Amino acid sequence: MKKSTGYLMLRDPRNTKGTVFNKSERRKYKLEGLLPDGIETIDKQIQRVQGQLKQIELPIHKYIYLSNLLDINETLFFHTIISDPATFLPLVYTPTVGEACEKFGHIARRPRGLFISIKNKNRIETLLKNWPVKDIRFIVVTDGQRILGLGDLGICGIGIPIGKLALYTSCAGVPPEYTLPIVLDAGTDNEKFLNDPLYPGLRQKRLKGKAYDDFIGAFVKAVTKVFPKVCIQWEDFAGVNAIRILEKYRDKVCTFNDDVQGTAAIAVAGFIAVSRLLNKPFKEQRFLFLGAGAAAFGIADMLVKKFQKDGLSKEEAYKRCWMFDVNGLLVKSRTDLADHQLPFAHDSEPSNDFASSILKIKPTAIIGVSTVGGAFTQQVIENMSSINERPIIFPYSNPTSHSECTAEQAYSWSKGKAIFASGSPFAPLTYNGKTFTPGQGNNVFIFPALGLAIYSTEAKRVTDEMLLTASEAVAEQITEEDFAKGLIYPPVKNIREVSINVAVKVAEEIFRSGLARIKKPKNIRKFIKSKMYEPVYK
Using pLDDT thresholds of 50, 70 and 90, give the confidence band for residue 388.
very high
Of 394, 421, 441, at which residue does a domain stop?
441
Using pLDDT thresholds of 50, 70 and 90, give the confidence band for residue 392.
very high
Using pLDDT thresholds of 50, 70 and 90, give the confidence band for residue 148.
confident
Q: Check pLDDT > 90 for residue 271.
A: yes
Instruction: Tell whether 348 and 391 lie within a shared domain.
Output: yes
Residue 246 lies in a domain: yes
Q: What percent of the chain has pLDDT over 70?
A: 100
Instruction: Tell whether 86 and 109 lie within a shared domain.
Output: no
Residue 78: give its domain's CATH number.
1.20.1370.30
Residue 1 lies in a domain: no
Instruction: Tell whether 51 and 109 lie within a shared domain.
Output: no
pLDDT tens by residue, 291-345: 998 889 999 999 999 999 999 999 999 999 999 999 999 999 999 998 889 999 9
Of 230, 253, 276, at which residue does a domain stop?
253
Instruction: Tell whether 104 and 233 lie within a shared domain.
Output: yes
Of 211, 235, 253, at which residue does a domain stop?
253
Specify whether the CB–CB gap between 256 and 246 falls below 8 A: yes
pLDDT tens by residue, 469-500: 999 999 999 988 888 877 899 988 899 999 99
Instruction: Tell whether 169 and 204 lie within a shared domain.
Output: yes
3-state secondary structure 515-537: CCCCCCCCCHHHHHHHCCCCCCC
Query: How would you class 87 by CB atoms within 10 Å of its CB: exposed for 0-12, middle for 13-18, buried for 19 or more?
Result: middle
124 vs 130: CA distance, rounded Å: 10
Query: How would you class 363 by CB atoms within 10 Å of its CB: exposed for 0-12, middle for 13-18, buried for 19 or more?
Result: buried
Instruction: Tell whether 110 and 243 lie within a shared domain.
Output: yes
Specify whether the CB–CB gap between 138 and 168 falls below 8 A: yes
Using pLDDT thresholds of 50, 70 and 90, give the confidence band for residue 2.
low
Instruction: Tell whether 52 and 109 lie within a shared domain.
Output: no
461 vs 515: CA distance, rounded Å: 7
Q: What pLDDT is attached to residue 110?
A: 80
Specify whether the CB–CB gap between 358 and 376 falls below 8 A: no
Residue 490 lies in a domain: no
DSSP 206: P
pLDDT tens by residue, 95-114: 899 999 999 989 877 878 99
CA angle 256/262/265 to nearest 5° reads 125
Instruction: Tell whether 313 and 435 lie within a shared domain.
Output: yes
Residues 6+ apart with CB under 8 A from 71: 13, 109, 110, 112
493 vs 84: CA distance, rounded Å: 7
Residue 276 lies in a domain: no
Instruction: Tell whether 411 and 332 lie within a shared domain.
Output: yes
Residue 115 lies in a domain: yes
Residue 59 lies in a domain: yes
Instruction: Tell whether 32 and 179 lie within a shared domain.
Output: no
Specify whether the CB–CB gap between 388 and 366 falls below 8 A: no
Q: Is 392 helix (H, G, I), strand (E, B) or coil?
A: strand
Specify whether the CB–CB gap between 470 and 500 falls below 8 A: no
Among 376, 517, 394, 525, residue whose Cα is nearest residue 458: 517
Q: Check pLDDT > 80 for residue 165.
A: yes
Q: What pLDDT is attached to residue 1?
A: 54
44 vs 61: CA distance, rounded Å: 22
Residue 385: give its domain's CATH number.
3.40.50.720
Q: Check pLDDT > 60 for residue 143.
A: yes
Q: What pLDDT is attached to residue 281?
A: 95
What range does the domain containing 19 cover?
6-92
Residue 307 lies in a domain: yes
Residue 499 lies in a domain: no
**In which element (H, E) is residue 395 found?**
strand 392-395
Q: What pLDDT is attached to residue 374?
A: 96
pLDDT tens by residue, 426-458: 989 999 998 888 988 889 999 999 999 999 999
81 vs 46: CA distance, rounded Å: 10
34 vs 46: CA distance, rounded Å: 21
Over range 55-74, report the average pLDDT.
Answer: 96
Q: What percent of the chain has pLDDT over 90?
A: 88
How many domains would you assign to the chain? 3
Residue 239: give its domain's CATH number.
3.40.50.10380
Q: What does residue 104 show for φ and ψ, rounded to 5 degrees?
A: -55, -45
Specify whether the CB–CB gap between 22 and 42 falls below 8 A: no
pLDDT tens by residue, 192-247: 999 999 999 999 999 999 999 999 999 999 999 999 999 999 999 998 899 999 99
Q: 367 pairs with which residues across the strands?
A: 289, 394
536 vs 538: CA distance, rounded Å: 6
Q: Is 326 helix (H, G, I), strand (E, B) or coil?
A: coil
- The DSSP-derived string for 128-173 is HHTSS-S---EEEEE-SSS-TTS---GGGGGHHHHHHHHHHHHHH-
Edge to edge, the sheet with strand 255-257 lists: 114-117, 179-185, 138-142, 231-234, 255-257
Specify whether the CB–CB gap between 280 and 457 falls below 8 A: no
- Residues recognised as catalytic: 93, 164
Residues 6+ apart with CB under 8 A from 299: 263, 264, 267, 268, 289, 367, 369
Instruction: Tell whether 308 and 398 lie within a shared domain.
Output: yes
Instruction: Tell whether 391 and 339 lie within a shared domain.
Output: yes
pLDDT tens by residue, 23-34: 999 999 999 999
Q: What pLDDT is attached to residue 466?
A: 97
